[in-house]
Chain A
Amino acid sequence: MERTLSYVDAIREATDLEMARDAGVVLFGLDVDDPKAILGTTRGLAGKYGGDRVFGTPLSEDAMCGAAIGMALAGLRPIHVHIRMDFVLLAMNQLVNMAAKTHSMFGGQEHVPLVVRSIIGKSWGQGAQHSQGLYPLFMHVPGLKVVAPSTPYDAKGCLAAAVRDDNPVMFVEHRILYYQKGRVPEGDYVVAPGKARVAVPGREVTLVGISYMQVECLRAQRYLEEVSVSAEVIDPIWLAPLDIGTIEASVRRTGRLIVVDNGWMTCGAGAEIVASLAERMQDAPGWKLRRMGFAPVPCPTTPSLEALFYPNARTIAAAAFDLVKGAPQGWLPAARADLKLIEFKGPF
């Protein structure tokens, strides 16, 4: 029988396996060794590997990121954890000016095998500073790799790949994905950089969902079956390097693309995907596209506005239906219990 794990346990297991495999892997960040253990993803590791390899830090994101780079230069393989992606902003100088540039700027003499884990929050009043999907900032910077796995299987395989990578990798998690369960093989495997996955094959429209929006796209695909529209769903998994070829092949077949970003659209991952396709598909006649993402404002806490802030399966399905029909149809699927959003309700 196939083994099923939660996203949380997949991350914990990948960390455990990598720490067992390579004595140079160290894990730190605020609260990695506290009773809640980063929502369980670091549970038990301090006990197993000791306080020298797994430790909580002072509230000093900038210095700890710089220190992680120093450790990496000395041959360790640090994993630096941030419980919110918003807090990574405090370490931006080290990431952008040092981690990303070290290998190239020093003529290939040094490299920075660093993994930065961070979690995007959503819903239940997380608000403006606890909900941002800032991964496009890092996609923009040459020298950083960016991955946003949406399944437990990919979470484990991508984290293993990230730890083994000799370059800085931004490993982007999503709080709502933590509740997912899925197939996760035991033992060692990697989900290597630069390969997307066709999650569901289809014919009429390609849905590309990033991070948590992959889950909403999969639900949208089911809603679209109600109106006999065949959607193909692609998970890019790695955003840098990005497997644009897989998306291009799909859009060449379906002729229609919806990219759903788990962030704002301007200069977003979706913008990059669309621009790359526009360049590569100048020979393709009449293909249609649409971007979706956060409303272009800070995330409000009130549920009435937060509901409008995010794309969801039903709004994605409606947009795809309109794209396939070539004009607004006024169709919005009735919410189905089996495709309900996972609601997050405290604790924080």
Chain B
Amino acid sequence: MKRDELELTVRLYRSLRRIRRVEEEIVRVYPSDSIKSPVHLSIGQEAVATGVCEALEPRDVVFGSYRGHAMYLAKGGSLPRMIAELYGKADGCARGKGGSMHLVDVERGVMGTSAVVGTTIPNAVGYAYALKHRRENRIAVSFHGDGATEEGVFAESLNFAALKQLPILFVCENNGYAIHTHQSRRQATLDICTRVRAYGIPAETIEDGDVFRIFQAARAAAAAVRSGSPGPRYIECITSRWLEHVGPGEDFELGFRSREETEAWRKNDQVARLGGMLPAPQRSVIDEAIEAEIAEAFAFAEASPFPPAGELLMHLYR
């Protein structure tokens, strides 16, 4: 590997591995009921947020959904404050008021996540409008699922973004399902990008979950968006959710999909793949650092106090 290739691989591996291990730790801790909050995990989908966020600048902003742990971490959101948020603690990124579905870290460009599907898509569009209006050299990114593309607001947002040629990158994390319902039972044509192109927005699909390919596509799209012309871009990343829609377990026993369906994706696991590309000593240094960081974050969350009663009525208005 050339040096810059190795450096990229290290960065991507660290991000992938860190997200995977954080969520595995959430799964491990979950039965203790310290996390009194629903969690929508991204295990299996890490490559999308990792590849895209690696292509962004720190000053760029991202908007996402309740399945937002990966996006938050990949964009640089504070890990200790995220875990404290899941624990409902005062040091959480939303002071314990938002929980797993409402992660935010404005300093790092994580503008927030919503539990109502599709809701943040137009928010990202509006942010992009302001960036263009002020001639700022930044871009906005909207992360959303395949299900969100069925909401009316998706179509309305694409139209406005294209009409105003806004500096926005749309990223669809297509895991094939909305809860337990396959895309083919919800959409007459599965080709989301064809629909997007009808609005005049260049769009491409990355079928295989390859984190390098996602990174390259995002880097090219971000560069185009940043140059101000020709406005918005759309990337659809096919991916696979390995755990249940919400919660720490699996969902194969429900019968709506089989474990085999995820098997090809597990064989193509980007965490393992990139780990294997690194020399063992270098990899274990990274792994150990991640473990230490995670242990510290959970200890921080445990030690943080619950918000005091006086917090209840605070932060309603500015």
**Residues of A with C-beta under 8 A to B178:** 30, 59
A302 touches B185 (CB 8 A): no
- A74 beta carbon closer than 8 Å to chain B: no
**Residues of A with C-beta under 8 A to B88:** 125, 301-304
B152 touches A297 (CB 8 A): no
**Residues of B with C-beta under 8 A to A296:** 313, 316
Task: Kindly state the separation between the CA atoms of A305 and B305 in the bound complex, as whole angstroms.
Answer: 12
The count of residues in chain B whose C-beta lies closer than 8 Å to any C-beta of chain A is: 46
- A291 beta carbon closer than 8 Å to chain B: no
**Which residues in chain B, 237-273, are within 8 Å of chain A measured between CB atoms?**
244, 246-247, 254-256
- B285 beta carbon closer than 8 Å to chain A: no
**Which residues in chain B, 286-310, are within 8 Å of chain A measured between CB atoms?**
306-309
Task: Kindly state the separation between the CA atoms of A35 and B252 in the bound complex, as whole angstroms.
Answer: 11
Task: Kindly state the separation between the CA atoms of A57 and B186 in the bound complex, as whole angstroms.
Answer: 6
Q: Which of A63, A303, A309 contacts B36 (CB 8 A)?
A: A303
B37 touches A305 (CB 8 A): no
Q: In the complex, which residue of chain B has the Cβ closest to the Cβ of A127?
A: B99
**Residues of B with C-beta under 8 A to A130:** 101, 115
B97 touches A301 (CB 8 A): yes
B36 touches A59 (CB 8 A): no
- B17 beta carbon closer than 8 Å to chain A: no
B306 touches A308 (CB 8 A): no
B151 touches A60 (CB 8 A): yes
Size class of the A contact interface (CB-based, 8 Å)? 35 or more
A58 touches B99 (CB 8 A): no
B187 touches A63 (CB 8 A): no
Which stretch (A144-152, A190-198, A340-348) binds chain B? Answer: A340-348
Task: Kindly state the separation between the CA atoms of A298 and B97 in the bound complex, as whole angstroms.
Answer: 9
**Residues of A with C-beta under 8 A to B116:** 86-87, 89-90, 129
**Residues of A with C-beta under 8 A to B316:** 296-297
Q: What's the nearest-Cβ distance from chain A to residue B112, in Å?
A: 11
Q: In the complex, which residue of chain A has the Cβ closest to the Cβ of B147?
A: A59
B181 touches A34 (CB 8 A): yes
B306 touches A309 (CB 8 A): no
Q: In the complex, which residue of chain A has the Cβ closest to the Cβ of B85?
A: A301
Q: What's the nearest-Cβ distance from chain B to residue A120, in Å?
A: 14
Task: Kindly state the separation between the CA atoms of A345 and B306 in the bound complex, as whole angstroms.
Answer: 19
**Residues of A with C-beta under 8 A to B313:** 295-297
* With A125-B37, A129-B101, A295-B313: A304-B247 Cβ-Cβ less than 8 Å: no
**Residues of B with C-beta under 8 A to A31:** 179-181
* Mask of A268-300 contacts with B, CB within 8 angstroms, 1/0: 000000000000000000000000000111101
B150 touches A124 (CB 8 A): no
- A128 beta carbon closer than 8 Å to chain B: yes
Q: What's the nearest-Cβ distance from chain A to residue B293, in Å?
A: 24
Q: Which of A127, A297, A302, A304 contacts B101 (CB 8 A)?
A: A127
**Residues of B with C-beta under 8 A to A305:** 96-97, 306-307, 309, 311-312
Task: Kindly state the separation between the CA atoms of A87 and B254 in the bound complex, as whole angstroms.
Answer: 25
- B148 beta carbon closer than 8 Å to chain A: yes
**Residues of A with C-beta under 8 A to B126:** none
Q: In the complex, which residue of chain A has the Cβ closest to the Cβ of B311?
A: A305
A301 touches B306 (CB 8 A): no
A125 touches B36 (CB 8 A): yes
Task: Kindly state the separation between the CA atoms of A303 and B90 in the bound complex, as whole angstroms.
Answer: 11
**Residues of A with C-beta under 8 A to B181:** 30-31, 34, 56
- A62 beta carbon closer than 8 Å to chain B: yes
B151 touches A90 (CB 8 A): yes
- A36 beta carbon closer than 8 Å to chain B: yes
B187 touches A129 (CB 8 A): no
Task: Kindly state the separation between the CA atoms of A57 and B181 in the bound complex, as whole angstroms.
Answer: 9
B151 touches A59 (CB 8 A): yes
**Residues of B with C-beta under 8 A to A30:** 178-179, 181
A302 touches B306 (CB 8 A): yes
* Mask of A104-129 contacts with B, CB within 8 angstroms, 1/0: 00000000000000000000111111
Q: What's the nearest-Cβ distance from chain B to residue A132, in Å?
A: 11
Q: In the complex, which residue of chain B has the Cβ closest to the Cβ of A297?
A: B316
* Mask of A55-76 contacts with B, CB within 8 angstroms, 1/0: 0111111110000000000000
Task: Kindly state the separation between the CA atoms of A217 and B204 in the bound complex, as whole angstroms.
Answer: 57
Seen from chain B, the residues whose Cβ lies within 8 Å of a Cβ on chain A are 33, 36-38, 88-89, 92, 96-102, 114-118, 147-148, 150-152, 178-181, 185-187, 244, 246-247, 254-256, 306-309, 311-313, 315-316
Q: A31-B180, A303-B88 are in contact. List 10 more A-B contacts (CB 8 A).
A: A35-B256, A58-B150, A59-B117, A89-B116, A127-B101, A129-B116, A304-B96, A304-B306, A345-B36, A346-B247
